[in-house]
Structure 1
Amino acid sequence: MPIGTIESLDHEARGITRLEGKTIFVDAALPGEVVEYASFRRKPSYELAHLVAVLKPSTARVEPRCPHYGICGGCAMQHMDPSAQVAAKQRVLEDSLWHIGRVRPETMLPPIHGAPWGYRHRARLAVRQVSKKGGVLIGFHEWRSSYIADMRSCLILPPHVSALLMPLRELFAALSIAERLPQVEVSVGEHCTVLLLRILEPLKARDEQLLRDFAERHDVVFYLQPKGPDSVYRFHPLPGPRLSYTLPEFDLELDFKPTDFTQVNHAVNRVLVRRTLRLLDPLPGERIADMFCGLGNFTLPIARSGATVVGVEGSEGLVQRGRENATANGLADRVEFGVANLFECSEASLAALGHFDKMLIDPPREGALELVKVIGQQDGPRRIVYVSCNPATLARDAAVLVGNKGYRFVAAGAVNMFPHTAHVESIAVFERP
């Protein structure tokens, strides 16, 4: 079997080595290691390989804490020390910016990171009846497979949610629709934990009673989704605490529905909002745009600074939640929300929003190419803070801002929103010269 020295990690946390001019991607290998590997897919310019043995381990290699690691596809980096994971993601960001966008920031910001365990307050878990494995399974999919991992605990979920996995397996196995319940979505809020069940058949009276009993025994709230996202409703208990998260530094509490997008890592989100506001530096009297604003995660902290904010988002539901949150937090007079498809942004549609002193951009993985392409070279915002969940599209968009729009690329840094995964979030700052 071939032996190679690992040079670096790619964007999927695979080790990279080379053999006779061909790039080899080795699962679970770390930079600096000498490894033995076995290829399972061969292409003319690259190969994908499994790790067979570590002949010279990295000092960053650790023993994975989770008993399901290697089978469950929820984590790809538990074999790497958490601090080394953060450094590796910073390098992935730098490499993407240069190799894709041919841009480099003037300064690399210190990476944002938090507790590596129990951080995941949002999760979508698959559910499946598997008789040969003892009944109902609940968990993430297995690594590169459609099968569901036989998870009995999960260290990246909050401990009280991890402790629900086995009781939920028993509950779902007892339901008459056990084979028609494909997933459960977990949302942990400030005041309650919500379990949203996707059901493909109506519950029977006995099923409903089982859910009520479980909710009261384990102090959770059940929501049901019989059809599309608009069919979601609160099942039990009907009165009770609302689903929300807080940004204490800005004296804010934001309500959300279990189908709304919110960050999975509440602690890191708080640090990210703080860093973003410091970089944006909103001042009283300024008019600031929050593009892809969601339900106001950045919009309301900006408004709390005294600036006037225009939040733009493609989802009418999220915009409605943003308006409600602005009112509930006493900020309705400083915030204006609007619905628009920013993936089809034009010079005319952007100009119709008026002039902005500064702009925050927080797009999904697709990035914000159409938006950055129509920002004016002369009358565009003097500062742009770009929060990204995909280094590749950030690099592409940064190239437009620097090369076509004349912005300085002032700073960038990684955000470890998802410890133990290869997912890299980041923040970048652009300014007019």
Structure 2
Amino acid sequence: MPIGIIESLDHDARGIARPDGKTIFVEGALPGERVEFASYRVKSNYEIARVKRILRPSANRVPPRCPNFGSCGGCSMQHLDATAQLAAKQRVLENNLRFLGKTKAEQLFPAIYGSSWGYRQRARLSVWQRSDGKVLVGFHERKSSHVAKMTECPILPPHVSALIVPLRLLIARLSISQRLPQIEVAVGERVTVLVLRILAPLIPDDEALIRQFADTHGVVIYLQPKGPSSAYRFHPDAAPALSYTLPESGIEHFFAPTDFTQVNHAINRVLIRRALRLIDAQPGERIADLFCGLGNFTLPLARSGATVVGVEGNAELVQRAGENATANGLAETTQFAVANLFEATPESIAALGHFDKMLIDPPREGAIEVVKSLGDDAPRRIVYISCNPSTLARDTAVLVHQKNYRLRGAGVVNMFPHTSHVESIALFERG
């Protein structure tokens, strides 16, 4: 069996070895380790392999906490010490900026991190009824459409993890057990919501079982017969609204269970604090918050006395953002607009008016059309929140090499511990 020395990790947390000069991506291996591996995909210039035996373990290797690690696709880095995870993600960010963006941050910001366990306030759990009638609830297995056989999940809040087995038992008793493929979890300050994706109508016995489950476990059940907007509250009739708070800004954000929100509320608060410090909003300034969602950054920015314009392509989120601004007494210092920023042009950006500063928080696709459309009147400072280092690097190349910005600093945000997902924050200043 071939042996290799692991040099580094790739963006999927696979170890990289180069025996005989050919690149081998070894799942389960860590930098510095000497391992035996077996390849299961062989190409002319690379191979993908699984580690078979660790001959010399890394000092950063730790025992995975979850018994499902290795089979469940929810995590990929539980075998790596938490501090080393941060360092690996920082290297991914730096390498993307260097090789794709052809630039380097003037300063590396301290990593933003928090608890590695019980952090996931939002999750999409899959449901699968096996041929023997048993139901599985959880995340997909790695590189598989099958659902992992799990009875707990330590990255979920403990009270949600404790629902996995009861949910399996509930669904097995429903008449539509084979027509319920997904459960969306949304945890708020005062309530936990489960959205059941149903592809067939419930019968009265099903309804009784679901009501009993909600009452027993203290959760609110929504049913979703079609797309996300079709979700409606099923039981109980009266319950607190979903929300998360930003204590430092005195803000409470209300949201629907299928709205996009950050999965890690604790890290989100620290990220907002960092973003506010970097953008340094002042009374009288006009600030853009692009891809604003339901106002996660818009409302804290508006507390400064600046006028903040939130722009988002999802009309429902824009409506929710406006309602949250009113509920938090910020209607006078906020404005919201619906626009497809993936199709931004110099004319559409100019039509929004002059901005002193700008915050950009795009999805994984990045904000390439926005940054390409910035003109001579562009904001002097931009804070960019990224969930994909490669699109951040691509957009950085435009800002630095074409739009006369300096990359003053960048750093990682560990929004998803134990996964290879790299969130980051970057500061750009013009001139």
Q: Report TM bin, short chain.
A: over 0.9
1:129-148 superposed matches below 5 A: 129-132=129-132, 135-148=134-147
Q: Which residue of 1 aligns with 2:254?
A: 255
User: Do the aligned partners of 2:137 and 2:168 also contact (CA within 8 Å) in 1?
Assistant: yes
The Cα offsets for residues 213-260 of structure 1, whole Å up to 9 and x where unpaired, read as 111111000000011122111111121110011111100000001111
Q: Distance in 2 between matches of 1:95 and 1:53?
A: 29
Q: Which residue of 2 aligns with 1:65?
A: 65
The question of 1:276 aligning with 2:275 is answered yes
The question of 1:325 aligning with 2:324 is answered yes
The Cα offsets for residues 57-108 of structure 1, whole Å up to 9 and x where unpaired, read as 1110000010111111100000001111111101111011111111110000
User: Do the aligned partners of 2:223 and 2:233 also contact (CA within 8 Å) in 1?
Assistant: yes
The question of 1:303 aligning with 2:302 is answered yes
1:352-371 superposed matches below 5 A: 352-371=351-370
Q: Distance in 1 between matches of 2:229 and 2:265?
A: 25
Q: Distance in 1 between matches of 2:208 and 2:218?
A: 15
> Deviation at 1:20?
2.4
Q: Which residue of 1 aligns with 2:101?
A: 101
1:414 aligned to which of 400, 412, 415: 412
Q: Which residue of 2 aligns with 1:402?
A: 400
In the alignment, residue 98 of structure 1 is paired with which amino acid?
Answer: R
| Stretch deviating more after TM superposition (209-218 or 350-359) | 209-218
> Deviation at 1:413?
0.2
Q: Secondary structure at the match of 2:379?
A: coil
Q: Which residue of 2 aligns with 1:223?
A: 222
The Cα offsets for residues 327-385 of structure 1, whole Å up to 9 and x where unpaired, read as 00000000000000000000110111000000000000000000000111x31000000
Q: Which residue of 2 aligns with 1:198?
A: 197
Q: 5+ unaligned residues in a row in structure 1: which ranges?
A: none
User: Do the aligned partners of 2:5 and 2:19 also contact (CA within 8 Å) in 1?
Assistant: no
1:98-247 superposed matches below 5 A: 98-132=98-132, 135-247=134-246
Q: Distance in 2 between matches of 1:18 and 1:369?
A: 34
The Cα offsets for residues 114-140 of structure 1, whole Å up to 9 and x where unpaired, read as 1000000000000111143x6111010
Q: Which residue of 2 aligns with 1:430?
A: 428
Q: Which residue of 2 aligns with 1:342?
A: 341
In the alignment, residue 288 of structure 1 is paired with which amino acid?
Answer: I
Q: Secondary structure at the match of 1:156?
A: coil
> Deviation at 1:21?
2.4
Q: Distance in 2 between matches of 1:136 and 1:48?
A: 32
The question of 1:76 aligning with 2:60 is answered no
Q: Which residue of 2 aligns with 1:90?
A: 90
User: Do the aligned partners of 2:134 and 2:172 also contact (CA within 8 Å) in 1?
Assistant: yes
- CA-atom RMSD, angstroms? 0.8
Q: Distance in 1 between matches of 2:290 and 2:227?
A: 26
> Deviation at 1:36?
1.1
| Stretch deviating more after TM superposition (422-431 or 93-102) | 93-102
Q: Distance in 1 between matches of 2:49 and 2:18?
A: 12
Instruction: Output the TM-score relative to the length of structure 2.
Output: 0.99
In the alignment, residue 27 of structure 2 is paired with which amino acid?
Answer: D
Q: Secondary structure at the match of 1:260?
A: coil
Q: Secondary structure at the match of 1:212?
A: helix
Q: Distance in 1 between matches of 2:205 and 2:68?
A: 34
Q: Secondary structure at the match of 1:7?
A: strand
Q: Secondary structure at the match of 1:400?
A: helix
Q: 5+ unaligned residues in a row in structure 2: which ranges?
A: none
Q: Distance in 1 between matches of 2:351 and 2:69?
A: 51
The question of 1:36 aligning with 2:36 is answered yes
% same residue: 68
The Cα offsets for residues 183-219 of structure 1, whole Å up to 9 and x where unpaired, read as 0000000010000000000111111111111111110
Q: Distance in 2 between matches of 1:264 and 1:59?
A: 30
Q: Which residue of 2 aligns with 1:45?
A: 45
User: Do the aligned partners of 2:109 and 2:409 also contact (CA within 8 Å) in 1?
Assistant: yes
> Deviation at 1:156?
0.3
| Stretch deviating more after TM superposition (14-23 or 215-224) | 14-23
The Cα offsets for residues 296-324 of structure 1, whole Å up to 9 and x where unpaired, read as 00000000111100000000000000000
Q: Distance in 1 between matches of 2:184 and 2:298?
A: 26
- After TM superposition, the runs of 4+ consecutive aligned structure 1 residues lying more than 6 A away are none
2:381 aligned to which of 375, 380, 383: 383
Q: Distance in 1 between matches of 2:300 and 2:136?
A: 41
Q: Secondary structure at the match of 2:370?
A: helix
Q: Which residue of 2 aligns with 1:293?
A: 292
Instruction: Output the TM-score relative to the length of structure 1.
Output: 0.99
In the alignment, residue 52 of structure 2 is paired with which amino acid?
Answer: V
Q: Secondary structure at the match of 1:108?
A: coil
Q: Distance in 1 between matches of 2:28 and 2:277?
A: 37
> Deviation at 1:19?
2.4
The Cα offsets for residues 157-196 of structure 1, whole Å up to 9 and x where unpaired, read as 0000000111111111111111100000000000100000
Work out the number of aligned pairs and report it: 431
The Cα offsets for residues 254-305 of structure 1, whole Å up to 9 and x where unpaired, read as 0001111000000000000000110111111100000000000000000011
Q: Secondary structure at the match of 1:126?
A: strand
Q: Distance in 2 between matches of 1:18 and 1:131?
A: 43
